[in-house]
Every structure is written in structure tokens, then in C-alpha cells.
């Protein structure tokens, strides 16, 4: 397997991008789906923004600085425009701001504004918790949940919004975005896709699927840094009509007119609420630029090749794969069910193989294609085999749960 891994690395057209990341020695990082690693350019970029733009430019940096740089005021749109092609959107349909959670609240409100007279939001049980919590937090909304194989049957003319996560965070299962969007539109519902585990990892074409709304995460496959701003998409055809509940001054048509009356800005700019976090936005921009430079086509091909190679390497182990077997039907991850998944994940981490655990019994391994090598995959598989064979995971030290798993 090791020789085959080396051959695959030698033939990998994007192998050299690994050097653009700062990865610690002795670590095989299979958790880029939870927190992407540090791009070397982001460290440089943050230094420059801190020293030149904040330190020297001070408040002048909100506008473009004479020698270039600054222009902080335009960052949400600029970064959104760079994310747009990664998910099949037009540049002016995406904006970077706030967290996924906050954007969900805004876009659920936007969906209701586009579909007056309806108040049901349909989703699936076991969706990412914040997606469900944000539905439950809207007092005028009635939540309806349906299992995925009954989702289309659960759509009727009471449904204002179908809110689904494209790639399931736990199992890696992927919804057919085009098919579900069409089914929702057939009953007059709006569709909101959560792309947190999709953007930068799997093919996404929001406009090809005719999606209405979407949100996605900045700190996973886009490598924007811990707590990076998220992004939100509103299809151009809705730009004239939607409103959203968090009507802050940055979403005003003329924030610096300091008017008493709220008047929404054009298009997705209306989604802004308050002042953007400039340092976090700069790190996100740098992460997105790197993913865009590598290109989605090459990333998707390698993502599939890496996870398929891992399956080959562990074919002889007694493992219960819960992710779909067809790589085109899953995200860039493999999830295995094991009664002692937590202890297993801890034993692997002790060996430098960082994956994660998702309650109650899932060992989740992410295969972010921008920096992983096939030799890492073979090594990770070898460690997993040894941890299982030796029963090493049964040690007491691997049983205690930390606050973040």
C-alpha cells in the first residue's frame, strides 16, 4: 500500500499545494472538515493588515489606501464574490458575514418574507443542531421534520421553506440538490441549503439547481481560521423582494447618511447587520483565494480519490461504514460506526492521526484534498488497524470526554 500511495502522490497534479499550508510535524490531519489548517499566506496577510492597515492606516483603511490595500468597507462583498464561483453563484449573489447560525436566522426570515401566508419550515431530524435551533427560535414558524426518504412527501402548500444541509455533517450523505429544489418549487416553497460541509469540497451549483438561498461555513474547507465569517447566497431573482429581520446599519442603503429610518441596501448587501470583523475577514479572504487557485475540479477529483484509497486500505478491517459507498453521493469524509468511537478517536489522536468523534458512536475522518497526501491516508489506515488489533483504545486515558469532541 505504501508504494501505491507514493505512486499516487507522484501522479497528483495538486500535490505541491501542501507546501502552502503550515502543518505541524508528525500530524496526519483528518479534521479539515471541522477546522481547516493555517495557510502560510494567511499569516503574512494578517501581519500586513495588522501592521500596515490597522497600525498605520488606522480609520483611513475603511476606504482604499493611496498605495493600495485597506478598503475594509467592501470586504464582505469582495470575499463573497470570491466564494461565489466555488458554489456556482454569481459574484453579486454571495456575501461573507456573521456566523452560519446568524445567517440562518436572517435567511429563514428572508424566506418567510418571500412566501407570505405560509409558516412551515421543513427540515430533517438529525440536521446540524444550529439549523434546527434557528428554526425553533422563530416564534412565528412551525417546524416540520421528515426523514430523508419521506422529504418530498412532506412538502405541501403550507411549507414556506425547505431547509436542508447538503452534506450531512455526521454521515457525509449528500442530498440531490436539484431534485429536492425542484420538488420544493413545485409546491411553491423556497429552498435554503446549508453548504457548510460542501463549499470547497464537493461540486456545488446553486444556480444550476435553481436554489433560492444558501449559507456556508468559512472555517472548514475554506480554511478561513477559527470562527471565520460565514457566507450567504441569495439568488438574483429575489434581490428586489426579500427582507431580513436583522436590519442593522451596515445593511442600510446609505449607512453613513445616519438616517433614522431603515432603508434596505440593494441585493445581498441587505444581509449585513453590523461592522465586519476585518482581521477575520482578511484570513477568510486568504483561505478562499488559495482554494480558488487550486480549483474545485482538481479538489473534487482528489477528494474522491483519497477517500476511495482509504477504503481500499481498510478493506480487511471489521468497520461499519455509514457514509455512502459511492463517492459522488457523499462529502469529503468517511464516517464509521463503532460502539467505542470516542475512545478510538482519542487513541488515534494520541498517535498523531487527528479525526473526530460525533455523538453517540461515529468516528469521522475528513479527507481535505488541498493538503493531504496519499501516504498520509495509508499511514492513517495503518494506525487505525493497529489501534483496533491491539485494543489500545481500551486504555483508561482515552475514555474521558473533553468539552469539545
Ligand X SMILES: *Cc1c(COP(=O)(O)O)cnc(C)c1O
Q: Is 231 annotated as a binding residue?
A: no
Q: Is 250 a catalytic residue?
A: no
Q: Is 62 annotated as a binding residue?
A: no
- Secondary structure letter of residue 65 according to DSSP: P
Give the pairing type, strands 21-22 and 159-165.
unpaired
CA dihedral 221, 279, 286, 227 (to 10 degrees): 0
Q: How far, in Å, CA of 395 to CA of 349, rounded?
A: 13
Q: Is 364 a catalytic residue?
A: yes
Query: Among residues 53, 194, 212, 379, which is the contact residue for ligand X, using CB under 6 A?
Result: 194
Give the pairing type, strands 356-358 and 362-366.
antiparallel
Q: Is 47 annotated as a binding residue?
A: no
The number of residues making up the chain comes to 405
Q: Is 231 a catalytic residue?
A: no
CB–CB of 335/172 below 8 Å? yes
Q: Which of 233, 356, 364, 371 is catalytic?
A: 364
Count residues contacting ligand X (CB under 6 A)?
Answer: 13
Site string (218-247) toward ligand X, x via CB under 6 A: ------------x-----------------
Judged by CB under 6 A, does residue 101 bind ligand X? yes
Q: How far, in Å, CA of 337 to CA of 171, rounded?
A: 9
Q: Is 181 annotated as a binding residue?
A: no
Q: Edge-to-edge strands of the sheet including 230-234?
A: 94-97, 230-234, 213-216, 190-194, 159-165, 120-123, 142-145
Q: How far, in Å, CA of 218 to CA of 231, rounded?
A: 7
Concatenate the DSSP letters of all residues of 228-278 into one string.
Answer: --EEEEE-GGGTTT---S---GGGBS-GGG--SS--BPSGGGGG--S---H
- β-pair partners for 167: 174
Judged by CB under 6 A, does residue 162 bind ligand X? no
Q: Which is nearer to ligand X, 112 or 215 (CB)?
A: 215
Query: Among residues 29, 169, 393, 398, which is the contact residue for ligand X, using CB under 6 A?
Result: 169
Q: Is 249 annotated as a binding residue?
A: yes
Query: Among residues 8, 100, 108, 278, which is the contact residue for ligand X, using CB under 6 A?
Result: 100
Judged by CB under 6 A, does residue 358 bind ligand X? no
Query: Among residues 8, 96, 120, 217, which is the contact residue for ligand X, using CB under 6 A?
Result: 217
CB–CB of 100/196 below 8 Å? yes
Q: Is 219 a catalytic residue?
A: yes
Q: Is 194 a catalytic residue?
A: yes
Q: Which is nearer to ligand X, 219 or 398 (CB)?
A: 219
Q: Is 390 annotated as a binding residue?
A: no
CB of 230 to ligand X, least distance (A): 5
Q: Which helix (H) or strand (E) segment is 311 a member of? A: helix 296-313
Q: Which is nearer to ligand X, 196 or 303 (CB)?
A: 196
Q: Is 171 annotated as a binding residue?
A: no
Q: Which of 29, 128, 231, 310 is catalytic?
A: 128
Contact region with ligand X (CB under 6 A), list: 47-55, 123-131, 300-308, 320-328: 123-131
Q: Which residues are catalytic?
A: 128, 194, 219-220, 364
Binding-site entries for pyridoxal 5'-phosphate: 101, 128-131, 165, 194, 197, 219, 249, 275
Task: List interacting residues with ligand X (CB under 6 A).
Answer: 99-101, 128, 130-131, 165, 169, 194, 196-197, 217, 230
Amino acid at each position: 500500500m505504501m508504494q501505491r500511495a507514493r505512486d499516487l502522490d507522484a501522479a497528483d497534479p495538486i500535490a505541491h499545494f501542501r507546501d502552502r499550508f503550515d502543518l505541524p510535524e508528525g500530524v496526519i490531519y483528518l479534521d479539515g472538515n471541522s477546522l481547516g489548517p493555517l495557510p502560510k499566506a494567511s499569516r503574512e496577510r494578517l501581519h500586513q493588515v495588522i501592521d500596515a492597515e490597522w497600525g498605520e492606516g488606522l480609520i483611513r483603511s475603511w476606504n482604499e489606501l493611496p498605495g493600495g490595500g485597506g478598503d475594509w468597507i467592501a470586504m464582505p462583498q469582495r470575499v463573497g464574490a470570491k466564494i461565489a464561483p466555488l458554489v456556482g453563484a454569481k459574484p453579486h449573489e454571495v456575501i461573507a458575514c456573521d456566523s452560519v447560525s446568524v445567517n440562518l436566522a436572517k435567511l429563514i426570515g428572508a424566506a418567510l418574507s418571500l412566501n407570505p401566508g405560509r409558516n412551515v419550515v421543513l427540515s430533517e431530524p438529525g440536521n446540524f443542531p444550529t439549523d434546527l435551533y434557528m428554526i425553533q427560535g422563530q416564534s412565528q414558524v412551525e417546524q416540520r421534520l421528515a426523514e430523508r426518504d419521506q422529504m418530498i412527501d412532506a412538502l405541501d402548500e403550507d411549507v414556506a421553506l425547505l431547509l436542508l444541509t447538503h452534506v450531512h455533517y455526521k454521515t457525509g450523505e449528500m442530498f440531490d440538490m436539484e431534485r429536492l429544489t425542484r420538488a420544493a418549487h413545485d409546491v411553491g416553497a423556497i429552498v435554503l441549503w446549508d453548504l457548510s460541509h460542501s463549499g470547497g469540497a464537493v461540486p456545488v451549483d446553486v444556480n444550476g439547481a435553481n436554489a433560492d438561498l444558501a449559507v456556508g461555513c468559512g472555517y472548514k474547507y475554506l480554511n478561513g481560521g477559527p470562527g471565520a465569517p460565514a457566507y450567504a447566497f441569495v439568488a438574483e431573482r429575489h434581490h428586489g423582494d426579500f427582507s431580513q429581520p436583522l436590519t442593522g446599519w451596515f445593511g442600510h442603503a446609505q449607512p453613513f447618511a445616519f438616517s433614522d429610518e431603515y432603508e434596505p441596501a440593494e441585493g445581498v448587501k441587505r444581509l449585513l447587520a453590523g461592522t465586519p470583523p476585518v482581521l477575520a475577514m482578511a484570513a477568510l479572504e486568504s483561505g478562499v483565494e488559495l482554494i480558488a487557485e487550486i480549483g474545485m475540479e482538481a479538489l473534487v477529483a482528489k477528494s474522491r480519490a483519497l477517500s476511495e484509497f482509504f477504503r481500499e486500505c481498510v478493506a480487511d478491517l471489521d468497520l461499519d461504514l455509514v457514509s455512502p459507498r459511492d463517492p459522488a453521493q457523499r462529502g469529503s469524509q468517511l464516517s464509521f460506526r463503532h460502539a467505542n468511537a470516542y475512545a478510538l478517536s482519542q487513541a488515534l489522536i494520541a498517535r498523531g492521526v487527528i479525526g473526530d468523534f460525533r455523538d453517540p458512536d461515529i468516528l469521522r475522518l475528513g479527507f481535505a484534498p488541498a493538503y493531504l497526501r496519499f501516504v498520509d491516508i495509508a499511514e492513517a489506515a495503518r494506525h487505525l488497524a493497529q489501534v483496533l488489533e491491539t485494543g489500545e483504545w481500551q486504555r483508561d486515558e482515552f475514555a474521558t470526554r473533553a468539552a469539545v469532541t
